[in-house]
Chain A
Amino acid sequence: MSGFLEIRGLSARLAGTGQRLLRSVDISLPAGSVRGLVGESGAGKSMIGKAVLGVLPKAVEVIEGEILLDGQDLQKVSPAERRRLIGAKAALIPQDPLTALNPSRRIGPQITDRLVDILGWTKARAATRALEVLAEVSIPEPERIMRLYPHELSGGMRQRILIASAFAAEPKLIVADEPTTALDVTVQKQILKLISELQARHGTALLFVTHDLGVVSKVCDTLSVLYAGKVVEDTTVERFFAAPQHGYSSALLAATPRHTDPSSSLKPVPREVLDAVAAEVAASDAAWRPSGGARG
C-alpha cells in the first residue's frame, strides 16, 4: 500500500563528523492515519520530521533515501517547488513553541500570514479562520489573545497557538513534534480528540512524535520505535501494547509510569537492553553499504 507520506531508506549524517543520525528509515503513512514515533531523547525523531518538511539544519546532510509526499519525490524537485509543495500540503507543529514564534510580532498576524501568503486567502477570511481554530484549541478570548505578544502567553497557550496555526490551513499532512508536552491532561485530551476528528473529516495524515505511550495508545494507528536513528520496530498499536516484538520496545513499555498504581517505581530502560539494541545498530551499520552515490 502506498501512503500519502512515504519515507524510504532515509539516511542522514552530520556534515562535520560524519556521525550518522538516521539509519535507513522506512515509514509509510496512508492518508487519514496516525503514526506514532517514539524513542529515547536524541534518537532522531525530530530529524525525521524536519527532513519531511525540508527544514533540516545546515549541519545535517541526507546521504540517501527518498521522501515521497503525495507520490512526489521531494528530493527530486527544485527547492522552490519543494517549498511550494510542502507549504500547500504539510504543516509542522515544532517542538519548541517559544522560539518558533517571533517575539516582536503579535500572535494574530503570525497565524494569518501563512494563510495569506501561501494559500492566497484574503486577510478577512484568514482572520475568521484564525479565530475559529483558536477557539477549537480552547484558547479563551481568542480576539484578545490575537493581540498579545508571545511572551505574554503561558507555555501551554503558545503550544496551542502553534497547533491552531498548523490546523488553520487544513493541510493533508501534519508533523506534530511533541505537541502536547506543555498541556495539562484535560486540554491534551481535548486537542487529541480534535486531531482525531480533523483527521476523520479531512483524511489528514499525522506523524505524531511523543514520549507518552499513553497518548500513543489513544490516537495512533501504527507506531515506529526509533533507537539511534534506526527503526527497531514498526507495528500497529494493538500489537505493540499486546506483545511488543523488540526487546527495546518491551522495556519502553515497562518503563512507562502509571498514575493509577502508587507503587509503580521509576525504572529506566535496563542497561542490558540498551547494550543489546546498540549492538544491533552497530551490526547493521557494519553491513550497510550506501546504495548509489552520496547525495548532499
Chain B
Amino acid sequence: MADNRADNIFEVSDLRVDVADMTRKPLFGPAPRLEILKGISFTIPRGAVLGIVGGSGSGKTTLGRTMVRLAEPSGGRMLFDGHDIAHLSDAAMRPLRPRIQMIFQDPLSSLNPRLTVGRTVAAPLNARANDPRVGEALEHVGLPANFARRYPHELSGGQRQRVGIARAIAMRPEFILADEIVSGLDVSSQAQVLMLLEKLVAELGLTLAFISHDLSVIRRLCSRVIVLRSGEIVEDAATVDLFERPQHAYTRELLDAIPTPDPSVRW
C-alpha cells in the first residue's frame, strides 16, 4: 500500500487565486479580478508539519481554502497524493474529501448553531451522537464527554475551538489544514492540543499544514516554515534556519514583535 502513495502529500506549483473585485465593478461588464495569491509553490512531504506564517490579510486562509478546494485556483497546479485536484469538480473531489480536512479560523461560525456538539462531531463519520468515537475525540481535546449534548453558543471560545479540532481528528484524515487553531486557547489547553497533534503525526503519519501567528508554537511544532506576504512566499526555510538566520526583513520584523513575558520591557 505504501508503494503507490506519493512521497509528497501536497505539491503546489505556481498557485494563483483571484476574486472578483466588486468594489471596482463598472456599471456594465464584469468586475476586475483581484489577485490574492500570486504564484505560490511549495511541497509538503508525507508526515511533515508545515508552518504557514504571514501578516494579516497576506492570503494564508485563502491558501488553505484553496488546498481543501473550497476555492478554485485560477492558475497553477496542486497535486494531492499525486492527483491534480486544482480543477476537480465537486463530485470528483468528494471521494478525496475524508482524507483532507480543515479546521477553521473562526470557531463559532464553523459550528452549526442548531446542532449539538455530539452531532457536529458525529455527522462527518455518518455516526450517531453517542458513537464512542465522538466521546473519544472530545476527550482527546480535553472536553468532558457530557459536552456532546451542548450547543455551540453554550461553550466558551476555547471550548468551541476544541470542538472544531475534535471534529477534524475524529475523521482520521491524512492531511489537516489547521487555520489558527490554538490562538484562542490558554497555554495549558494549547499544550494538550499540540501534544495530541504531535502524537497523531508520529503515530498515524498525519500531515499538517499549520497556519499560526504564534511563532513559539511554530518553532515547537513545525519542521518547515513558509512566510507569506501579500500573496507571495517571501521565505521558505527549515524552522531552525528561519529562527536562527531569518533572511527576509519581514521575517525579522515578525520575530521582533513577539511579546516576551517580561514587564520590564514595555512598548
Contact = CB atoms under 8 A, between A and B. Distances in A.
Q: Judge A-B direct contact (beta carbons within 8 Å).
A: yes
A290 interface: no
Contact of B253 (A99, A147, A160, A186): A186
Contact of A269 (B188, B260, B266): B188
Given A98-B108, A256-B261, A184 B184 contact: no
Contacts of B160: 96
Given A155-B180, A237-B263, A184 B213 contact: yes
A231 to B, nearest CB: 16
B109 A98 contact: yes
A264 interface: yes
Contacts, number: 180
Most B Cβ at <10 Å: residue of A152, A158, A217, A219:
A217
Interface string A55-71: 00101000000000000
A255 B217 CA distance: 12
A144 B187 CA distance: 37
A185 B213 CA distance: 7
B71 interface: no
Contacts of B265: 218
Most B Cβ at <10 Å: residue of A46, A157, A266:
A266
A255 B187 contact: yes
A214 interface: yes
A193 interface: yes
Interface residues of A, number: 68
Size category, B interface: 35 or more
Interface string B11-27: 00000000100110000
A211 interface: yes
Interface of A: 38-43, 45-46, 57, 59, 95-99, 140, 144, 147-148, 152-158, 160, 177-178, 181-189, 192-193, 196, 211-219, 237-238, 241, 252-253, 255-260, 262, 264-269
8 cross-chain pairs, A with B, having the tightest CB-CB distances, nearest first: A41-B158, A156-B56, A214-B259, A259-B216, A266-B191, A185-B257, A96-B108, A181-B183
Interface of B: 19, 22-23, 53-57, 60-62, 105-109, 153-160, 162, 179-180, 183-192, 194-195, 213, 215-217, 219-220, 240, 243, 253-255, 257-263, 265-267
